[in-house]
Structure 1
Amino acid sequence: MNEMTGGTGSGSGSEKPMANIHEFVHCVQQIFVESANMQLIPPKLAFRLNLPVWSRFEGAARKALDLARTYVNENVEHIRNEVNGESDGMSGQGIIRQLLNDGSISVEEMVRIIVDLFIAAADTTSHATQWALYLLSRNPQCQRRMLDEVNSVTGGHIVEECHLPHLSYTKGVIKEALRLYPVAPFLTRYLSHDMELSGYGIPSGKLIVMSLYTTGRKCEYFNDANQFMPERWLRDKELANHQTINTHACLPFGLGVRSCIGRRVAEIQMQFLLSRIVQKFQLSAVSNKEIGINLRMIATPEQPIHLALKKRATL
C-alpha cells in the first residue's frame, strides 16, 4: 500500500499518492466482507437472482478497480511527463517507474498487475501488521529483544533496506504473528490426483479446505503452541530451543505455484514498519483482555485493538 501513498518501503518511490485512498480501502474491505457472506451461495446464483449481497460485492469491486486503475494511469502520465521535461521535481524508482523503464510489458498489462497487487494487499498486510503489534504489546520481553536486535544492526540509526537481511528476530516476530493469526486462515486447493487423507479416499478434482489457524496452534506441530515465541523461528537451534516441530504446519502465504505472489512485498513492508515503530515507541496494550479473532476470508479482530505508544527517549 505504500506505493499508493507516495513511496516504497525504503522511501525511494516517486509515485503520486492516491487522492481517494480511504474510499479505496473501504471498498476493498467491503469486497472481503461480501465475499465471506457469499461463501455458502454460488456466485452465479447470486448474480442471476441479483441478490443484495451480490450487488454490494459488485459495486465495491467495480469502484475499487476504477480507483486503482485511475491511480496507475495518472502515474504513468506523470512519469512520462518527467521524461519529456515536464518534471515537478519528484524522483525515485517506484514500482510503476521500474516497470515502465523495463518496457517488457504493455501499459495495460502493467495496470492489471498493479491493480491486482493493490486489491490483494490493501486489507491483508494491514491486519497482519496489526496482529503483530498487538502481540508485541502483550509481550514486552519480545519487544525488548526485537529493539535490541534492531539497534545492534543499525547502530541506533533508522532502519534502512540494507539492514533487513540481518533482522532475524524481527522476521521471527512476523512469522509467529502469522502462525497465531494467519491473515488467510483457510487454504483451499483442488486435488490434482487421488489421495488418502487420514484414512479417507479423496478423488481428484475435489476441493479441500485446510485450517491454517488450527494447524498453527496444534501442540503436535509446535511446542507451547499458544505462546508467542518468535525465537522458535531462528535458524540457530541453540537459540530456538527446537521449538518448531513442523514448519509446513504454518503456511500463511501458501506453498508452490499457487502461493501468494505478494509475499515478498508484504514481508518487507512489515519488517520496515514494525522495526521502525519499535525503534521509536514503546508499545503497551490498553486492556489486558485478550482480543478474539473472526475467522472469515481474512482473520480480523473481533473488536478494535487499542495500543498505547510511548516515545522512546533514545530517538
Structure 2
Amino acid sequence: YHREQRRLLQPAFHRGRLPAQAGAMTREITAVMEQWRDGNTIDVLAQMHTITSRVVSKTIFNSDAVSEAAQIVREAVDVIIGSIFHRMVMPIQAINRLPTPANLRYRAAITRIHDAVTHAADEYRRDGCDHADMLSALLAARDHNGNPLSDQEVREQVITLLVAGIDTTGVALSWALNVLAHDDELRSRLHREVDATLRGRVATWDDLPHLDLTARVITETLRVYSPIWIITRTVTQDVDLAGYFLAAGSTVAYSPYLIHHRADLYPDPERFNPDRWLSDLPQRRPRTQLLPFGGGPRKCIGDTLATTEATLALASIAARWTLTPPPGAPAVDVKANVFLTPRNLYLRTETRAPTKPGAGPPVGTPTPPSSIP
C-alpha cells in the first residue's frame, strides 16, 4: 500500500514543479520579514514556524478560493503536531482513545482538517483547473487501474504533508540562525555570499546554484541539530538484528541525532563545521550516515522541497538582517519532543546593507569551525 501511494504522490514532488513552488516560498518569506522592525527582538522559532506554515500551506493550496480552508488547516495542524510524540511512544494505544482533554482536542483538530480539505477538494473539482499545487496533484493521481485517490486518502496525505513540512523546516532554520548569531566569522562569510549573489533582495530559485555556503550551513544544521531526532519502525517479520531477536510486530526506534554525532563517522562531531561538506566526501558517504529525512523506501518524499525552502529562507534573512542575541537574553536550551526544538531562542533584528564586493576573504575560504552554542 505504501509503495503504491508513494508512486501516486511522486509526480507532485517532481523537480519540474520546484521553480513554481520556490516562487511561492519567496513570496511568503518576504511577507513575514516585512513585519520585522530594526532593533526588535523576535521569537525565532515562532517566526520560522510562521514562514514554514505559510509556505507549506501555499504549496498545498495555491488557490485564493480555498484560502479560508488553508487557514483552518494551518491552525488545526498545530494541535496534531503537539500530540504526535505522546501518541507515538504510548505503549498502550488504547489510552489514545480515552476521552481525555488532549485526545478530544486531537480528534476535533482532525475533524476540522478533514472538513476543510474536503471543501477545498470539492472547489478544485468544480473549477477543473490545475493550480500547480499539491492538492491538484493529489486529485489528478491515478493508480494502475485508473482509479483516483479516495477522499480519505487525499485528506490523510494532506495531513502528512503538513505535519512533515512545517515544524521540521522551521526548527532547522531556527537552529541555523542560532548558530550564526553566536559565530561572527561564519556569519560574515555567509553575508559575503548572499551579498555577492542577492545584493539585498530575497533569494529566488535561480539564485540557488550560487548559494553554496548557505546550503552547507543547512546541511550541517541538519546533521548537528536533526529536527527528527528519533524515528520508529515496525518489524514486518521475525528477524535477528545484530544478535537481538525481534519478533514481527515489534516497534524499533533509531536516532538520526546519535548517528550524526558518532566520531567514527564525523571527526570532531560536536563542532559545527559546514566546511566538512566541501570535499567530494559527501558524494561517497553511505546514505545511512546522514539521515535527517530518514532513509530507505520511506525516506521523506519532500526532502528536496524542504532543503530548497530552508536555503531560500536563510539566504533571504541573511541578505537583509543581522540577528544577534539581545542583552540579557535567556540561555537557549533544547526540548526533545517529536522534534529537537530550541527553547528561549530570542534574537535581535538589525537591518543591514550589502557589503562591498571584495571586502574580507573569499567566500569559500574555510575558517575554524565554531563550538556549538
Question: Given the two structures, how large is their TM-score scaled by the length of structure 1?
Answer: 0.76
| Cα shift readout 1:210-261 (whole Å, capped 9, x = no counterpart) | 2322232232221221111112123456xx9x9x987633311111012223
Task: Give 2:91's aligned amino acid.
Answer: I
The counterpart of 2:228, out of the listed 157, 163, 184, is: 184
1:70 equivalent in alignment to 2:70: no
Q: Which runs of 5+ in 1 are unaligned?
A: 85-90
Give the length in aligned residue pairs.
Answer: 291
Residues 106 and 139 of structure 1: CA distance in aligned 2, closer, same or farther (over 3 Å): same
Q: Which runs of 5+ in 2 are unaligned?
A: 1-52, 143-147, 356-373
The counterpart of 2:334, out of the listed 286, 293, 296, is: 293
Distance 2:63 2:279 in 1: 37
Aligned-residue offset at 1:21: 5.9
1:113 equivalent in alignment to 2:157: yes
Task: Give 2:109's aligned amino acid.
Answer: A
1:159 equivalent in alignment to 2:203: yes
8 Å CA contact retained: 2:330, 2:344? no
Aligned-residue offset at 1:23: 3.5
| Cα shift readout 1:87-133 (whole Å, capped 9, x = no counterpart) | xxxx9633223444x46334614333222211333333222222222
Aligned-residue offset at 1:307: 0.9
**Comparing both structures, which one devotes a greater share of its residues to helix?**
2
Distance 1:272 1:130 in 2: 14
1:278 equivalent in alignment to 2:318: yes
Distance 1:167 1:107 in 2: 41
Q: Which residue of 1 aligns with 2:47?
A: none
8 Å CA contact retained: 2:168, 2:339? yes
Q: Which residue of 1 aligns with 2:217?
A: 173
8 Å CA contact retained: 1:222, 1:246? no
Task: Give 2:112's aligned amino acid.
Answer: L
Three-state SS of the structure 2 residue aligned to 1:19 is: helix
Matches within 5 A, 1:202-281: 202-203=245-246, 205=248, 206-235=250-279, 248-281=288-321
8 Å CA contact retained: 2:201, 2:320? no
8 Å CA contact retained: 1:134, 1:305? yes
The counterpart of 2:133, out of the listed 94, 97, 102, is: 94
8 Å CA contact retained: 1:14, 1:93? no
Distance 1:32 1:47 in 2: 11
Residues 190 and 131 of structure 1: CA distance in aligned 2, closer, same or farther (over 3 Å): same
Higher RCO by CA contacts (8 Å cutoff, separation 6 or greater): 2
8 Å CA contact retained: 1:31, 1:60? no
- Taking only the aligned residue pairs, the percentage that are identical comes to 23
Residues 78 and 146 of structure 1: CA distance in aligned 2, closer, same or farther (over 3 Å): farther
Q: Which residue of 1 aligns with 2:189?
A: 145
Question: Given the two structures, how large is their TM-score scaled by the length of structure 2?
Answer: 0.65
Aligned-residue offset at 1:27: 0.8
